[in-house]
Copies of this chain bind each other. A is one copy, B any other.
């Protein structure tokens, strides 16, 4: 069973519709964040909905202390949650920190984790409002809940993609996976310009959630569906395509590559495409846009020095994701079906 089948098996028991309505639930399980009526900040003439999201990072599953400093662990745990709010087009407001700490961590170690959390929180203007600290028999477990809000009825869900839409990303996928590869293989460092070394490592250790990009896509209109890339382009594409009941056709030649990523792929002889499609943890946004709106969106992004790339198009379908690639022997494009698949970062 994949993640969605398992969650639906566990939660099949469910709750009465009347209870969900009475508590103002608009969208429960199945998107980047839950949507609930209500608001923290009230503005004249604008009504809001609340967004809730929670994510856990577990030592030796999601990270280890060989490739991540303790402050990176704190920073990234919050950043990945903020990215879920970005993927709804929302404003992040508050965070709660639950941390379970093995006995060999000192007070100073935990302070460093908190330092990273505060660094990210202050950068993105999110208030840390509470938490819980417990012991853990073995591994560090860090669970962060983020609460935000979005203008009522305008959250960018997974389920709105339409045939004819352009598929867009707001950044370059694969840099986090390349950065991790570099952290695990320092012998390649001398072959890469120092600025690329730093930039790839930072993509893995301190990813930047794209809250501004999410807000802009929401406010400009024409964006029909949005996810953040936590599990790789393939997985996120499948999630949107399935939730929307459409097919995604990604064009390999349109997938953006940075100079650093390209150089690092060459010197390590690793597959760039594997990092892009399956690496994950890039926390860029992947979505679909009405093609009539795209030029204006692109211009608005450019004015703010933000990136946006059209990387394919939406067709009628039932959740399929295709990758269009040039076949060198046949001199025309062929379609390969791609799937969600796990990516084990430490093997």
Is the pair A19, B137 in contact by a Cβ cutoff of 8 Å? no
Q: Among B93, B118, B145, which residue has its beta carbon within 8 angstroms of that of A13? A: B118
By a CB distance below 8 angstroms, the chain B residues around A58 are 100, 134-137, 141
Pick from A3, A13, A113 the residue with the most CB of B within 10 Å: A13
- So how many copies of this chain end up in the complex? 2
Is the pair A133, B3 in contact by a Cβ cutoff of 8 Å? yes
Q: Tell me whether chain A's interface is mostly helix, strand or loop, or mixed.
A: mixed
What's the nearest-Cβ distance from chain B to residue A192, in Å? 32
**Cα–Cα distance between A113 and B10 once the two chains are bound (Å):** 9
Interface band, chain A = 35 or more
**Cα–Cα distance between A132 and B56 once the two chains are bound (Å):** 7
Stretch from A122-130, A173-181, A251-259, A275-283 that touches the partner: A122-130
Q: Given the interface contacts A22-B125, A25-B129, A129-B25, does A61 sit within 8 Å of B16 by beta carbon? A: no
Is the pair B19, A125 in contact by a Cβ cutoff of 8 Å? yes
Is the pair B128, A11 in contact by a Cβ cutoff of 8 Å? yes
Stretch from A47-55, A211-219, A294-302, A333-341 that touches the partner: A47-55
By a CB distance below 8 angstroms, the chain B residues around A111 are 9-10
What's the nearest-Cβ distance from chain B to residue A122, in Å? 6
By a CB distance below 8 angstroms, the chain B residues around A243 are none
Does any Cβ of B come within 8 Å of A37's Cβ? yes
